[in-house]
Structures are given as structure tokens and as C-alpha cells.
Structure 1
Amino acid sequence: MSKRAKIILIVIAILFVAALIWFGKKNKKSIVEYETEKPFKTTIVKKTVATGKVTPLEEIEIKPQITGIIDKIMLLEGSKVKKGDLIATVRVVPNEQSLISARGRVDNIKIRLNNAKVSYLRNKTLFEKGVIARAAYEAVELTYRQAQQDLKNAQNDYLIIKKGSAGSGGAANTNIIAQISGTILEIPVKEGDQVIQSNNFNAGTTIASIADMSKMIFEGKVDESEVGKLVKGSDIEVSIGAIEGKKFPAKLNFVAPKGTEENGAVQFKIKADVSLDDKFFIRAGYSANADIVLEKKDSVLSIKEALLKFDKKTEEPYVEVKQADGKFKKVTLKLGTSDGINVEILEGVVADDEIKIWNKVSKDEKKKDN
């Protein structure tokens, strides 16, 4: 063999070895090392949040007993009042036609009364002389007494139209007083505004609204998917948007038997008595959220939800558990309660299992997932 042939053989051998090395590196799979985590026992609390507001338990509207004009307002919104305190006064502005008509009835009855009086005195003299019988005298006397009473009634009607009341009842009708002790939330009228009395055909003009601010309730709504898990008397926590970092304990006392549809979802109203803290002043209408415990499980075997994968075909949850040879095995799980971070494990893994943390994924695994 010539020297040139030997050189060619050596070059071919070197190229062959280089090719083997190149193909070996190309086909070699990258090794990915995964961290693992063991299941643990913890308490899982499943909650729902109801949005709403805090309102007074007792709130009433004060309405006038007569129609008139607000003459004077004694107090301001936010003032604390006791039952019977004067809030405002109403000045009666009578209807001219009704006033003239009432005055005319008074004058007519006075004429009739004068005539009845003359007849009564004449017949009384005749009766005392024995000229007429007792029955005739008593009939004339009855007519006279009735005319006296008719005049009194007509005069009272006239005074009511003119002043809003007859006699001592005037102050009761024209004075607007607090019906309960509490805080004035709102006075929607001003001095000079006309107000209408409350009657069977009209709700009347609200002069003031009063509420007892020492008794507050939370009013909110929950979705129909969660309302079935609520239990009256349950303890909840109320967070008020205007008061940061403070939660007020409350007790659920009402769940509406009928829901209302809002934006395609059925919502149910709930109410809860709120325990107040003297350090904080709660205003009526504050927006608030209520944390309601739907389910609670103590010391149950759990894993983090981030460790879960779901089969694309069956949609069953699974994890990969490390085996003795260092490889991972797919294990299907049966899950229980979840709080969004941790989830209860009913079947599939035990406390000593090492579960893959999905922190590193090779290109082949990415292709497999896709």
C-alpha cells in the first residue's frame, strides 16, 4: 500500500469517527432534573365573597301630617336626636276656595243657631207657664243644642283649613318631631319647600330620615351556585372598603327564598348582623364585602394546586410521582376540597410520595404536551 493510500485511509477513519460523535450528540436527549415535593396535612377553608353594603337595622322616614310649606329646619344632617325632638316646623298655606267655603258654612250655621235660640227661649217660657207639652219643648231644645254643636264643628273645620289644626292640636300637626332616637341621615327638603301630607293616595313628602347607627347589618348577594351551602347563624367576616385592615364579625341571619336575575346570573340577597367596634364610625351605605365559609376541613392530606396536571382526553387530574429508579410515573388523583392554593387528596398519593414540581420542561415534553 502506498503512502498516499494510507493517508486517505487515515482521513476517512478520522471523518468516520467525527461523524459518529456528531450523530451521537445529536441523538442524545438532554437530561432534565426535576425538584419534588411531598404531600402535607393542612386545614382547607373554602370561602365565597358576597359584595354589598352596610345599612342601619332601623331606618324610618318622617312625613308631615298636613300639607304646607317648610317654615324652619331646626337640625342638620348627622345630628343625633332623641325621640320627640323637634326637627322642623310646617306653615299651613290654606286653599282660598276651601277657606271661603268653610267660612260660609260657619256663617250659615250661626244664622240657623240664632233662629233656633229664639224659638227655644220662646218655647221655654210657654212650657214653664204650662201652655205647651213637655214633648214639644224638648223637640225645640234638641234643635237648639244640635245647632250649637254644628257651629262648633264648622268652626273647627275652618280653623283646620286655615291653621292646620283646631285648638291644642296645632303644634302636633305643624311640628315635625323625631319618632325614634338615632341619627338624622338625610333632610331632603329646604326651608320654603312645599310638602304634602301622607294619605291613602299619596306617600307624602319625606322631611327627614332617621336611623339607629348603633345597630348595623350587612346586605349583599351571593350566586345561586353557592347559596345552597349557606347556613343561617353562621359566623362571617365583613370588610368595609372605607376602613382598611379591619374586619368586623357578623352573623348570617337571612337568606332570600327567591333570587333575582342580574346580567344572566341568579343572585340571592343575604343579611347579617354586624358587631361594631366603638373605635370606628360606620356610615350608612358603606360598600362592603363579606367572607363566608362554605366548607372547612381540618388536617387533611393536601398538595399545592400548582402540582396538578389534567389529562387532555379524560380531563382527570394527575401528578407524576418519583419511582425508586429515579423515573416519574403518572398517577391519577381523586380530589376533595380546594381553597384555590391547596387541594385535598382523597385517593392517588400518600404522605411519603415525591411529586414532580413542574419547574423545568424539555423540548420533547413540550412537543408531547402540544
Structure 2
Amino acid sequence: MKKFFKILLVVIFVALLGFSGKYLIDSNSKSPIVFTTEKAFKTSIEEKTVATGKVVPEDEVAIKPQISGIIEKIYVEEGAAIKTGDLIAKVKVVPNEQSLNSARGRVKNAQIVLNNSKVEYDRNKALFDKGVISSQDFNNIDLRYNQARQDLSNAQSDLQIIRLGSAGGSSTANTNIRATVSGTILEIPVKEGDQVIESNNFNDGTTIATIADLNKMIFEGKVDEAEVNKLKIDMPLKVSLGAIRDKEFDAKLKFIAPKGDEEQGAVQFKIEGEVFLDKSYFIRAGYSANASIVLETKNDILAVKEALLQFDKETEDPYVEVRTGDQKFERRDVEIGISDGINVEILSGITEEDDIKVWNKTEPVKKEDEKE
């Protein structure tokens, strides 16, 4: 029985050796990767950058009230076309109690002064008609009487302005909020019943509506500090909108910010470009957009595919491997220029005759039946 187990162990051991040997032979018999080569070529390269941003109206006007109160009525809707002078909303005045009381007091005081002046005027008028007093004395009394009447009128107007927002007979009531420019209503951030604050030296006031001309749009975006020095005013842009596919709008660079803002560790500079609109498309304010900017163009230059480049792990200098024999290659350091992300300019290091190694070639994946 022991001899049987010994023989069985020997058979199993021999079988394992056989399988291991076959695996090693198969592994060593695999053919090495055969690297192919490509040559440098002459082409044209455009170096571009893309600025992300949005399209907005060139000018936006915020309409603010000239008096505080409550929105009584809104006469327009967002998106409506409007002209200068059109009525947007009406404000109901809620007077300050202290100011109202003070104005009423001034009216009463002016009325008392006027009554007294009237009595004096009537008495002296009768004396003047009889020739008792001189013309000069009567003229002084008449002047005081007229001044008292004017003071009462002014006090009454002030009281009416505090109560109603405008004096009687005024051609333009402060309670009527009208458009100051022509355009499209972009936003009405208030609703009927909301309280609003007047615009003055200490407060910007509540915005009743925002108006803009949607026929004059600009692109607002940002570019990285590494590329901002390559930009020039009046450079052409190609603007594509997220809301309108397969359409690019021509634009012209009109502003480059003199100061950058740091965002997530990188300094970004604001740019603006005038967009030339196509009347067959309706562009809404705030559409997200990308602007493609050609920074530099070179024609008939020596280039290779960017995928052929390798970079030194220590110096990060670029190089390629050039064939010297059958599956034999040597390193060649190269100097590169502009790139479009696919092809890169070669300034020195190789020629059109050199065969450049496709270093990132991989073995084709075998199918299941081939493995078997």
C-alpha cells in the first residue's frame, strides 16, 4: 500500500513538471513587439486656445425708483420689447409719518401767516385808496402778502409730494417707473406688493427691471496667464454657443483685463469680444459659450505627430527614438515649437529622412479561440 502511494506521488510530480515546462516554453516562444516607424513631414499648424465664458448684452440698464414705496402695478413682462419712456410699473407711496406730520405743520403755519397778511393787506389797501399811506408803504405790505401766499403754496406742494409722490400738475410723476432706454426686458426681480427703496446718494435703490439691447452682444470669458501675452486687440474669435449646435459666430477681441484673478491656483484674465450676430438666430443673454482664438499660425514647417514624443523623466526634455538598424533605435533630443494638440513643430534634432519609432505600440489582444 505504501509503495502504491509513493508511485502516485511520483506520477503527480512528473505531471506538474511537464505542465510547468510547457508553460515556460510557450512564454519564451512569444515573439517580441515589432516597433513600426513614421517620418516627419511638412504641414501647417495653428496654435489655438479656447476661452470659456458666456454671451451677454453689451449694455444692461437697471431701472430704479426715484421714491420709496410699494409696487402697485407692473405693466410689462420679462422678454417684452420696450421703448424709451414706456411705463414699466407704478409705485404707491407709503409716507413717513414724521415727515408727513412735519409737512402738515408747515402748511398750517403758512396758512396762519397768510391769514394775518391778508388782514393787514385789506386794511392798508383801504387806507391807500383814501390817500392816507404812501405808495411805498403799501407796496411793502403787498410784497409780504404775496410771499405768504407763495409760502403756503410751497408747503402744500411739499405735503402732496410726501403723500402722493408728486406735486399736482407735474408732467412726470415719480410714482410712474418708465424705461430710460429702448430694448428688451431681461428681468423683473420684483412683484406687485413688494416694497422698494429709492435711489439716492446713500443707497443704490431697488431694481425694478433690467433692460438691454439683445442686438448688441459680447463674449465674456477668461484665459490663462500663459497665453494672455499672445493676445492682441482686434484678434478674430470663433464663438460657439452651448444652446446652438453646429454654428460658429465671428467675433473680434476688444478688451483684455490688465489684472488677473487667481482661481484654483491659476491666474485667469478676463477678455471681451464683440460678437457679430446672425439675424436668423435669436441669442438669449447668458448663453454659455466657448471662444476659439488662433494664437499663432505657421505654414510649411517640419512636424511629427505629438504621440511620437517622449520626455526625459528627470529633465522633462523632449526626445524621439530614431531607427539605426533592424529593430534598433537611438535617442535623439529634439527642440519643439508650436502644437495643435495632434502635430507638433520640430525646430531641430531630426530630418524628414529619419525613421521615428512608434514607442507606444502595444500587442494586439488575442481572441479567446486563438488563446486556446
TM range (shorter): 0.7 to 0.9
Stretch moving more, 300-309 or 260-269: 260-269
- State the distance in 2 between where 1:261 and 1:44 align: 31
SS of residue matched to 1:173: coil
The corresponding residue for 1:67 is 68
Stretch moving more, 307-316 or 78-87: 307-316
The CA deviation string for residues 211-249 of structure 1, in whole angstroms up to 9 with x for no partner, is 111111111111212111111110111121222222221
Shift in CA distance, 32/223, structure 1 to aligned 2, threshold 3 Å = closer
Shift in CA distance, 245/160, structure 1 to aligned 2, threshold 3 Å = same
Shift in CA distance, 315/166, structure 1 to aligned 2, threshold 3 Å = closer
2:209 equivalent to 1:246: no
Unaligned stretches of 5+ in structure 1? Answer: 1-25, 363-370
- State the distance in 2 between where 1:84 and 1:200 align: 24
The corresponding residue for 2:197 is 196
SS of residue matched to 2:131: coil
The corresponding residue for 1:148 is 149
Contact 1:164/1:170 (8 A) holds in 2 = no
Shift, 1:151, TM fit: 0.9
SS of residue matched to 1:351: coil
The corresponding residue for 1:157 is 158
The corresponding residue for 2:335 is 334
The corresponding residue for 1:83 is 84
The corresponding residue for 1:48 is 49
Letter matched to residue 212 of structure 1: D
Shift in CA distance, 74/29, structure 1 to aligned 2, threshold 3 Å = closer
Shift in CA distance, 238/128, structure 1 to aligned 2, threshold 3 Å = same
The corresponding residue for 1:267 is 268
The corresponding residue for 2:310 is 309
Letter matched to residue 199 of structure 1: N
- State the distance in 1 between where 2:206 and 2:33 align: 78
SS of residue matched to 1:77: coil
Shift in CA distance, 80/319, structure 1 to aligned 2, threshold 3 Å = same
SS of residue matched to 1:156: helix
- State the distance in 2 between where 1:361 and 1:74 align: 70
Shift in CA distance, 151/313, structure 1 to aligned 2, threshold 3 Å = closer
SS of residue matched to 2:169: helix
- State the distance in 2 between where 1:313 and 1:98 align: 79
The corresponding residue for 1:217 is 218
- State the distance in 1 between where 2:241 and 2:215 align: 16
Shift in CA distance, 324/52, structure 1 to aligned 2, threshold 3 Å = same
Shift in CA distance, 27/282, structure 1 to aligned 2, threshold 3 Å = closer
Letter matched to residue 108 of structure 1: N
The CA deviation string for residues 64-107 of structure 1, in whole angstroms up to 9 with x for no partner, is 11122111111111111111211111122323443333223222
The CA deviation string for residues 136-185 of structure 1, in whole angstroms up to 9 with x for no partner, is 22221221111011011011111111211112327531211111111111
Taking only aligned residues, the RMSD between alpha carbons, in angstroms, comes to 2.4
Shift, 1:359, TM fit: 5.1
The CA deviation string for residues 317-342 of structure 1, in whole angstroms up to 9 with x for no partner, is 22233347774343221211112211
Shift, 1:302, TM fit: 0.3
The CA deviation string for residues 90-135 of structure 1, in whole angstroms up to 9 with x for no partner, is 1223234433332232222122112112212322333343322333
- For residues 349-364 of structure 1, the aligned pairs below 5 Å read 349-358=350-359, 360=361
Shift, 1:315, TM fit: 3.6
The corresponding residue for 2:295 is 294
Shift, 1:353, TM fit: 2.3
Contact 2:35/2:327 (8 A) holds in 1 = no
TM-score of the aligned structures, taking structure 1 as reference length: 0.84
SS of residue matched to 1:238: strand
Contact 1:336/1:346 (8 A) holds in 2 = yes
Shift in CA distance, 330/361, structure 1 to aligned 2, threshold 3 Å = farther
Contact 1:35/1:359 (8 A) holds in 2 = no
2:167 equivalent to 1:205: no
Shift, 1:272, TM fit: 0.7
Shift, 1:347, TM fit: 1.0
Shift in CA distance, 105/345, structure 1 to aligned 2, threshold 3 Å = same
- State the distance in 2 between where 1:356 and 1:110 align: 105
Contact 1:255/1:271 (8 A) holds in 2 = yes
SS of residue matched to 1:219: strand
Contact 1:65/1:198 (8 A) holds in 2 = yes
Contact 1:184/1:210 (8 A) holds in 2 = yes
Contact 2:66/2:199 (8 A) holds in 1 = yes
Shift, 1:60, TM fit: 0.7
Percent of aligned pairs with the same amino acid:
64
Contact 1:302/1:344 (8 A) holds in 2 = yes
Shift in CA distance, 39/121, structure 1 to aligned 2, threshold 3 Å = same
Shift, 1:279, TM fit: 2.5
Contact 2:187/2:209 (8 A) holds in 1 = yes
Shift in CA distance, 149/241, structure 1 to aligned 2, threshold 3 Å = same
Shift, 1:27, TM fit: 11
Shift in CA distance, 347/120, structure 1 to aligned 2, threshold 3 Å = same
- State the distance in 2 between where 1:84 and 1:313 align: 70
SS of residue matched to 2:170: helix
SS of residue matched to 2:281: coil
2:113 equivalent to 1:121: no
SS of residue matched to 2:184: strand
SS of residue matched to 1:271: strand
Shift in CA distance, 96/32, structure 1 to aligned 2, threshold 3 Å = closer
